[in-house]
Amino acid sequence: MKTLRQIITNAANRGVAVGHFNVAETSVLKAVFESAKKLGVPVIIGTSEGEAGFLGRKQAAALVRSLREEYKFPIFINSDHTHSFEEVKKAVAAGYDAILFDGGKLPLAENIRQTKKVVQYVKSKNKNILVEGELGNIGSGSTIRKEFPKGAAIKPEDLTKPEEALKFVKATGVDLLAPAVGNIHGMFKNAPEPALDIERIRAIKKAVKIPLVLHGGSGNTNKDFKAAIKAGISIIHISTELRVAWRKGLERGLRENREELAPYKILAEAVAEVEKVVYTKLRLFN
Ligand code: G3H
Ligand code: ZN
C-alpha cells in the first residue's frame, strides 16, 4: 500500500485533494470510512486535542490502523491542531501518521523555533510521520459563528505571505504547510464564508513547492474548492459541516425511535447524515 506521503504527492500531481475529516467517536469514523470506501479514494482522519482527549489517542490511532490493515484501505490519522510539545510526543507514541503542530497564532520567529523543534523530534522517532506547520491565524473552533473570529486574518496584508512561507518551510523542514488564505475555522450562521484568495494560494505554492493544506473547509463553495486545488491545495479539512450533520442525524434518530435504547440503531441516522456530507466532499475533491 502507498504511504501517506506518496498519496499526497500523487494527489498533487493529479490535481486532486485528499479529504481530511475530524472525528471524536466511532459513528463519524464509520461514516467517513464507508464514504471513502464507496468512492475508492484515500482519506485522512483528524483528531484535534479535544477529540483525541475524548476518544483516546492510542485508541483513535488503533481504530484507524485496524481499518487500514483489515480492508487494505488507505485511511490515515493526523493529530490535528497540536499546540504543545507534550501532545506531539503523545501522538508519536500512539502511532499517528501525521501531526499538525499549530503555532499559527505565535509570532513568526517563535512559530519557527517551536515547529523546528517538533520536526526534529518527530523525524528522530519516525521519518515516515509527516509534520505540518501552520502559518497565519485562521481562528479556532469548528462551530457555527455569529461573528468573525477575533484576530483571524482576512485582509490581504494579514494573509500568509509567500516569502514568509518560504522562510518558514526552509527553517523548519515541515512536510506540509497550512496557510491563511481567506479560510477560517467554523461557519457563519447567516452569512456566506469569505472567498478564498486563489492567487495567494498559487503564489505560496510557487514559493514553497511543498503540499499545501486548506483548513476551515466547512462552508466554502465548490467553485472555490476546485480553484484552490488547481492552485496548489492537496489536503482539505472539514469538521463543522460533519458536526452539524451528526447532530441533525442524531436528533432524527431520537425523534423517530422514541422507545429505542440500542445506540447503534439511534446512531444509524447520524452515520447516514454524516456519510452524505463526506461522500459529496470526497467526490468534489477527487
Ligand atoms: O482542522 C480542522 C478543520 O480545519 C476544520 O475546519 O470546521 O471550518 O470545517 P471547519
Ligand atoms: Zn483546522
Query: What is the model's pLDDT at position 190?
Result: 82
CATH class of 4-285: alpha beta
Residue 149 has pLDDT above 90, yes or no: no
pLDDT in tens, 96-116: 999 999 999 999 999 999 999
pLDDT in tens, 37-54: 999 999 999 999 999 999
Measured in whole angstroms, how far is the alpha carbon of residue 159 from the centre of its chain?
Answer: 19
Q: What distance in Å separates the CA atoms of residue 210 and residue 11, rounded to the nearest whole number?
A: 12
**Which among 182, 176, 180 has a CA at the least distance from the CA of 4?**
176
Neighbours of ion ligand 2 (CB under 5 A): 215, 237
Query: What is the model's pLDDT at position 89?
Result: 98
* Ligand that comes closest to the CA of residue 237: 1
Q: What distance in Å separates the CA atoms of residue 77 and residue 43, rounded to the nearest whole number?
A: 9
DSSP 67-123: HHHHHT--EEEEEEEE-SHHHHHHHHHHT-SEEEE--TTS-HHHHHHHHHHHHHHHH
Angle at 141 (CA atoms; ends 87, 266), nearest 5 degrees? 95
Q: What distance in Å separates the CA atoms of residue 229 and residue 198, rounded to the nearest whole number?
A: 9
Phi first, then psi, for residue 17 (nearest 5°) are -130, 150
Ligand 2 geometric centre to CA of 102 (Å): 9
Cβ–ligand 1 contact at 238 (below 6 Å): yes
pLDDT band at 192 (very low <50, low <70, confident <90, very high): confident
Q: Where are the domains of the chain?
A: 4-285
pLDDT band at 29 (very low <50, low <70, confident <90, very high): very high
Q: Nearest residue CA, atom 8 of ligand 1?
A: 216
Which segments within the chain are labelled E, that is strand? 18-22, 43-47, 75-82, 98-101, 130-135, 144-145, 176-179, 187-188, 212-214, 233-238
Classify strands 176-179 and 43-47 as parallel, antiparallel or unpaired: unpaired
Q: What distance in Å separates the CA atoms of residue 192 and residue 182, rounded to the nearest whole number?
A: 12
Query: What is the model's pLDDT at position 236?
Result: 98
Ligand 1 geometric centre to CA of 143 (Å): 9
- The residues near 237 (Cβ < 8 Å, ≥ 6 apart) are 20, 21, 22, 46, 80, 213, 214, 215, 216, 217
Residue 69 has pLDDT above 90, yes or no: yes
Cβ–ligand 1 contact at 249 (below 6 Å): no
Query: What is the model's pLDDT at position 100?
Result: 98
- Over residues 6-34, the mean pLDDT reads 97
Ligand 2 geometric centre to CA of 91 (Å): 17
Atom of ligand 1 nearest to the CA of 185: 8
Cβ–ligand 1 contact at 145 (below 6 Å): no
pTM, to two decimals: 0.97
* Ligand that comes closest to the CA of residue 47: 1
> What are the grid coordinates assigned to 217, written together?
473547509
* Residue 238 near residue 255 (C-beta atoms within 8 A): no
Cβ–ligand 1 contact at 216 (below 6 Å): yes
- Over residues 60-81, the mean pLDDT reads 98
Query: What is the model's pLDDT at position 147?
Result: 87
Query: What is the model's pLDDT at position 189?
Result: 85
In one-letter notation, the amino acid at residue 66 is S
Ligand 2 geometric centre to CA of 214 (Å): 8
> Average pLDDT of the chain?
97
Place of cell 464514504: 35
- Over residues 149-153, the mean pLDDT reads 89
Q: What percent of the chain has pLDDT over 70?
A: 100
Let me know if 80 is a catalytic residue. yes
- Over residues 262-278, the mean pLDDT reads 98
Q: Which residues of 159-176 are buried (b: 16+ CB within 10 A; e: fewer)?
A: bbbbebbbbbbebbebbb
Cβ–ligand 1 contact at 185 (below 6 Å): yes
